[in-house]
Amino acid sequence: MKQYLLDTNICIYLLKGQFNINEKIKKVGKENCFLSEMTVAEMKFGVENSSKKKQNREKLKEFQSLLDVIPIFPSLDIYAKEKSRLRKKGQIVDDFDLLIGATSIFNNLTLVTRNVKHFNRLEGINLEDWTKDK
């Protein structure tokens, strides 16, 4: 069974009820969907940057309890190699995105993102965009 790492934008769409992400998660099985620690960090920043901090903290806490969070530490070698390789090619990728991508590669998970063009630069990454109809 294929397993998935949900990028931050997909999590936001899920929370907003957009693109039928909830149905897609049900279809593949919630147990086959994971979050990176970096996605949680980005979402926590979004909460702190929002006008409804208390309400959004509760939403995020509830959301985090639904999916397993994968640590980034085992992915750091991939992160370092990819960052170096891409920098030499002049293709800079944001560090958080690079860490999310490296986590996906290390754990052999398909990264679900709307930013396919952006993440496609990483070697060995598998991507799906659940915002497009198939």
β-pair type (33-36, 68-70): parallel
Query: In the predicted model, what is the mean pLDDT of residues 66-76?
Result: 97
Of the pLDDT bands very low, low, confident and very high (cuts 50, 70, 90), residue 134 is low
Rounded mean pLDDT, 63-83: 96
Q: What CA–CA distance (Å, rounded) separates 104 from 112?
A: 10
Which residues, including other chains, have CB under 8 Å from residue 34's CB and lie 6 or more apart?
A: 3, 4, 5, 6, 67, 68, 69, 70, 107, 109
Count helices and strands (H / E) in the chain.
7, 5
What are 82-104's pLDDT values in tens digits?
Answer: 999 999 999 989 999 999 999 99
β-sheet with 127-128: strand ranges across = 68-70, 33-36, 4-6, 110-112, 127-128
CB half-sphere exposure, 103, CA atoms < 13 A: 24
Q: What angle do CA 95, 122, 83 make, to 5 degrees?
A: 40
Query: Does position 124 have pLDDT exceeding 90, yes or no?
Result: yes
Using the predicted structure, report yes or no on whether residue 133 has a pLDDT greater than 80: no
In the DSSP assignment, the letter for residue 122 is: S
Q: Looking at domain 4-128, which CATH architecture does it have? A: 3-Layer(aba) Sandwich (3.40)
Neighbours of 58 (CB within 10 A): 12
pLDDT: is 133 or 106 the higher one? 106
**Residue 53 confidence (pLDDT) above 70:** yes
